[in-house]
Amino acid sequence: MQNVSSSNRSKYDSLRKLYKNLGDEDEKLRVLGTLCSSWDKDIVLESLNLIFTNEIPSYHAVYVLKGIGIDAREMTWSWLKENWDRVLKVIPERDLMWSIINDILPLFTTNDKAEEIAKVFTNYPDPEIQSALQEKLQMVRINMRWIDGIRSEPKLAHTVHELLHKP
């Protein structure tokens, strides 16, 4: 999916066709999880909007959020906020909360964004979800400190960059 874009969508269309034709539920869910893994925001947006169609049954809708990549995190969060009421008509609230905590929140690396997302949960008293939220917020803070540490050490940042782009 990394090569898929609005102008080169043959693999994306093939995955959607595969999803329709698969009989195995687990395989269908894996395919749904990959639809949003493109770097192309138009493809991700199209995938997110599939939950409002008859193409994906409502009990599969939350799996579309599982494949969100780091490049689409801001757009996905904005989309969720803009479509919150519509999404809740398709995805049960508890499932949506779990997906935000496990699939969306860990993609962010700023305290401001983590706190913005955490505000969604202020009126959601479920202790299990609150505990998971605090755990993921702590993970975001650790990641922020790690990134700040790399940025403060120019040689380390260069080394990490080289390692990430090593063939």
Q: What is the mean pLDDT of the chain?
A: 88
User: CB-based contacts of 58: which residues, under 8 Å, 6+ apart?
Assistant: 51, 90, 91
- Both tokens of 62, joined, read 């939350």
pLDDT tens digits for range 90-119? 999 999 999 999 999 999 988 888 889 888
Pair 8, 82 in one domain: yes
- CA torsion sign for 132, 134, 139, 143 is positive
The whole-number pLDDT of residue 1 equals 59
pLDDT tens digits for range 43-79? 999 999 999 999 999 999 999 999 898 889 999 999 9
Location of structure tokens 């979800």: 129
Confidence of residue 86 (pLDDT cuts 50, 70, 90): very high
- Do residues 133 and 118 touch, judged by C-beta distance below 8 A? yes
In a domain, 119, yes or no: yes
How many independent structural domains does the chain possess?
A: 2
The whole-number pLDDT of residue 124 equals 84
In a domain, 99, yes or no: no
In a domain, 158, yes or no: yes
Expressed as residue numbers, the domain containing 62 is 1-91
Location of structure tokens 């749904």: 32
The pTM of this model reads: 0.81
